[in-house]
Amino acid sequence: MRWRAMIRREVVVAACSSTYTLAMMEHSCETRLYLDDPDRLEFEARIVERRPLPDGGVALLLDRTCFYPTSGGQPHDTGRIEGEPVVDVREDEAGCVVHHVTRDPGVDQVHAVVDRERRRDHMQQHSGQHLLSATCVELLQRETVSFHLGAERCSIDLPGALLQAEELDAVERRANEVVWQGRSVRVRSLAPDDWKLLRKPPPPGVGSVRVVEIEAWDRSPCCGTHVGNTSEIGLIKLLAQERVRESMRLHFVCGHRALREFSRRLERQEEVVRELTCHPDEVASRVARLKEDARAWRKEAESLRAEFAASRVREWLASATRIAGHAVVVRELQASEASTLQMVAEAVRAQGGIALLGAAGEKAHLLFACPEELALDLRPALKAACTHVQGRGGGPPHRVQGAGQEVQNLDAALAAARAVVTEQLGSFDKGASTA
């Protein structure tokens, strides 16, 4: 019996792991009540095996179950068995449904209840996926290659490039037309001779399969739980798309999730409207105007900063120590001025001075610059400074920069750089005197 179960398990996994999902079969381990009645949420069962779990919980095998195990892209059900929370449901290597509970119920005959909201949500999402996938084939000739039912969003992967806006609109509109037509959704067994009726046939070697059929729209092999009528899906809302290797991924939500998503987005829109004090229809134009104003303000601020920096540089150069005839400006700027280091350094260099600048932010920032014609190599000065701030940096001889973690040592770093530059300029002066 166990050997037969293992053979069946190989067939089921092969089907579920692609989006084919599942061979119709007789379960040797238990009776799976959800296959014929997904709306049934309460049942009586007998515990046939208990297995201890590493976390202190217990894995229960029942003779019958309404709990759906994780498979085919659909997550497991939750609920309670004899009052004990069911935290996970999965298939073991033999294909038996294993229910993970926090502790042993202590009896063999148990009453179990499946969480209604989670089951209904999964039914809406999974049925919505079947309908959406069939719509993509109908309108785009693209077959779904994988399906994921997440905690917040669902997604399907389709071959090819991202969809155009008009394609997304057409798919969403047509899918919802089918939802609102109230077409029946039923489950039946289909023999291999009838597989030509399927949108996506199962792999070879499988016998009769369990098929979920949306009236006059889709037939697909599947082991999941589904609604009985497309109107129960409520709404299919496409949210986003993204590239995934050679395919594209389409994110969507159905039913109550679509309502929650709309409510969240409406709340965010109302927050934006309050902040902008405008009508919702005016948000885009108001934001565009704000962006344009911000660009103008940034440009004006840059101009003012440049003027201010030039004014300060003139003062600094006038009061700077002159070494071998060269003005050396050694300054530590405020953290808020770190972005102006380059501007100040260029202003000093443009007026023939040597800039040894630092700014203390999250890191100690260093920027040294001098006129190229001076033939002064500032890299040794940067190396000396970086040893004090535990940093590193580099650049061409006339313009170097670096950063380090030891912000409190910035003064010592600038002093070390000044000492190196003073020595270099002194050697220039000696050389000139000798000549």
Q: Which two tokens stand for residue 259?
A: 């309502």
pLDDT tens digits, one per residue of 329-339: 999 887 555 56
Which pLDDT score is estimated for 15? Answer: 35
CA distance 114 to 68: 9
Tokens 């291999």 locate to 192
Residues 120-183+229-275, CATH architecture: 2-Layer Sandwich (3.30)
Which pLDDT score is estimated for 16? Answer: 40
Please state the pTM of the whole predicted model.
Answer: 0.70
Domain segments of the chain as ranges:
2-114, 120-183+229-275, 296-434
Which pLDDT score is estimated for 83? Answer: 96
pLDDT tens digits, one per residue of 77-133: 999 999 999 999 999 999 999 999 999 999 999 999 999 999 999 999 999 999 999
- Nearest CA among 107, 43, 112 for reference residue 81: 112
Which pLDDT score is estimated for 17? Answer: 34
Which pLDDT score is estimated for 335? Answer: 56
Which pLDDT score is estimated for 7? Answer: 29
CATH 2.40.30.130 applies to domain 2-114: yes
CA distance 269 to 125: 26
CA distance 349 to 364: 22
Which pLDDT score is estimated for 429? Answer: 59
The DSSP-derived string for 197-222 is G-SSPPPTT--SEEEEEETTTEEEE-
Q: Which two tokens stand for residue 196?
A: 């030509």
| Residuewise pLDDT in 10s, the chain (435 residues) | 333 333 233 333 333 433 333 443 444 589 999 999 999 999 999 999 999 999 999 999 999 999 999 998 899 999 999 999 999 999 999 999 999 999 999 999 999 999 999 999 999 999 999 999 999 999 999 999 999 999 999 999 999 999 999 999 999 999 999 999 999 999 998 888 788 778 777 777 777 889 999 999 999 999 999 999 999 999 999 999 999 998 999 999 999 999 999 999 999 999 999 999 999 999 999 999 999 999 999 888 878 777 777 788 888 888 888 888 889 999 988 755 556 788 888 889 888 899 999 998 889 999 999 999 888 999 999 999 999 999 999 999 999 999 999 999 999 999 999 999 999 988 765 555 544
Which pLDDT score is estimated for 6? Answer: 31
Q: Which residues pair with 188 in a beta bridge?
A: 211
Fill in the DSSP letter of residue 193.
Answer: G
CA distance 186 to 227: 8
Helix (H, G, I), strand (E, B) or coil at 435: coil
296-434: CATH, from 3.40.50.261, 3.10.310.40, 3.40.50.920, 3.40.50.2300: 3.10.310.40
CA distance 400 to 405: 18
* φ and ψ at residue 198, rounded to 5 degrees: -85, 145
How many CB atoms lie under 10 A from the CB of residue 111?
14
**Cβ(368)–Cβ(378) below 8 Å:** yes
Question: Cβ contacts of residue 218 below 8 Å, gap of 6+?
Answer: 130, 131, 133, 134, 199, 212
Helix or strand run (H / E) with residue 137: helix 116-140
